[in-house]
């Protein structure tokens, strides 16, 4: 079995709570069934930490890029247009070639679209589908990309999904990516994940809430230590070498 397989990580978790090993995640033993039940949840919870190995950067997609409406133009369902005179955005409900906007609107070929961007924020971006946590938002003009720009992740009640709101144009996001290939896990993460699994397994296998709480504590400690050490694994062009930094911290 691979050294960093799903089974080996589950067995490390089972050892933490004094349970028998498994030979396959598809076994019919209580231990294997419990591991299979909690694996996905525990993995996602553990990956929400600030881990170097699953960080990625993507250009963000604006929620509603809308061009100004023009006549005698073919529009498809789902197209967005912006009406300058009213400062409103509309979404195409029926495919058509535009005549006058008032006539097309009366025929319900357009419906009013409200992208949920709260006051004081300029842009609303789609949340990357495989994101487990947004760490930073910035663009080419951001002076300090280690800090990034101000942003929030909120629920867009109009469209029924989470979005990123920010004042940053043409934004990129640095975020934690959902990785399920265990061979890509680093040793710090494997250690932390085993504790997170153990926390979920303590109740169904041992019925021990105190043990579950202790495993959560050990998970948080392992995650904090890994996040501290990961600070030495990156360097930006703006950083200046300073031999006195470590001695002062």
Using DSSP's 3-state secondary structure scheme, residue 229 falls into helix
Q: Has this prediction a pTM greater than 0.75?
A: no
Locate 79 and state its tokens: 């197209």
Q: Are 54 and 179 in contact (CB under 8 A)?
A: yes
Domains in the chain (CATH in brackets) are 55-62+122-177 (no CATH), 67-113 (2.10.10.20)
Question: Do residues 107 and 153 lie in contact, with contact meaning Cβ atoms separated by under 8 Å?
Answer: no
Q: Which of 84, 86, 85, 88 is nearest to 64 (CA)?
A: 88
Rounded Cα distance between 74 and 105, Å, is 15
Whole-number pLDDT of residue 158: 64
- Cα dihedral: 207, 210, 215, 217 (round 10): 160
- Return per-residue pLDDT of the chain as tens, 249 residues: 456 899 999 999 999 999 999 999 999 999 999 999 999 999 999 998 888 889 999 999 887 556 789 999 999 998 888 888 887 888 899 999 999 999 999 999 999 876 656 667 888 899 998 899 899 999 999 999 989 999 999 987 766 788 999 999 999 999 999 999 999 998 999 999 999 999 999 999 999 999 999 999 999 999 888 777 765 555 555 544 443 334 333
The Cα 164–Cα 57 span in angstroms is: 15
Q: What is the pLDDT of residue 88?
A: 82
Q: CB count, 10 Å around CB of 16?
A: 19
Counting runs of H as helices and runs of E as strands, what totals does the chain give? 6, 12
- Give pLDDT, residue 156: 78
| pLDDT attached to residue 155 | 86
Residues contacting residue 220 through CB under 8 Å, at least 6 positions apart? none
Question: Looking at residue 193, what is its pLDDT?
Answer: 96
CA atoms within 13 A on the CB side of 186: 17
| Ramachandran area for residue 217 (φ above 0: left; ψ -120 to 50: alpha; else beta) | alpha
Q: How many whole angstroms separate alpha carbon 5 and alpha carbon 193?
A: 12
3-state SS of 79-127 is: CEEEECCCCEEEEECCCEECCCHHHHHHCCCEEEECCCCCCCCCEEEEC
Nearest to 158 by CA among 192, 194, 113: 113
Token pair for residue 118?
């709260």
């Amino acid at each position: 079995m691979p050294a960093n397989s799903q089974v080996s990580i589950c067995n490390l978790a089972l050892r933490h709570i004094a349970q028998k090993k498994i030979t396959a995640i598809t076994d019919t033993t209580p231990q294997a069934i419990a591991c299979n039940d909690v694996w996905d949840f525990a993995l996602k919870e553990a990956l929400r930490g600030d881990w170097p190995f699953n960080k990625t950067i993507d250009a963000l997609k604006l929620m509603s890029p809308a061009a100004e409406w023009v006549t005698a133009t073919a529009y498809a369902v789902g197209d967005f247009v912006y009406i300058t005179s009213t400062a409103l955005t509309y979404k195409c409900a029926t495919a058509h070639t535009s005549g006058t906007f008032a006539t097309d609107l009366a025929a319900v070929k357009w419906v009013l679209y409200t992208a949920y961007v709260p006051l004081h924020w300029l842009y609303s971006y789609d949340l990357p589908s495989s994101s487990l946590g947004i760490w930073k938002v910035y663009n080419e003009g951001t002076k300090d990309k280690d800090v990034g720009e101000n942003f929030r992740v909120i629920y867009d009640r109009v469209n029924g999904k989470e979005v990123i709101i920010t004042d940053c144009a043409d934004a990129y996001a640095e975020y934690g990516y959902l990785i399920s290939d265990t061979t890509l896990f680093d040793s710090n993460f494997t250690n932390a994940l085993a504790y997170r699994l153990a926390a979920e397994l303590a109740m169904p296998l041992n019925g021990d809430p105190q043990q579950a709480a202790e495993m959560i504590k050990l998970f948080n400690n392992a995650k904090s230590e890994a996040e501290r050490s990961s600070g030495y694994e990156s360097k930006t062009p703006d950083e200046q070498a300073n031999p006195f930094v470590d001695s002062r911290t």
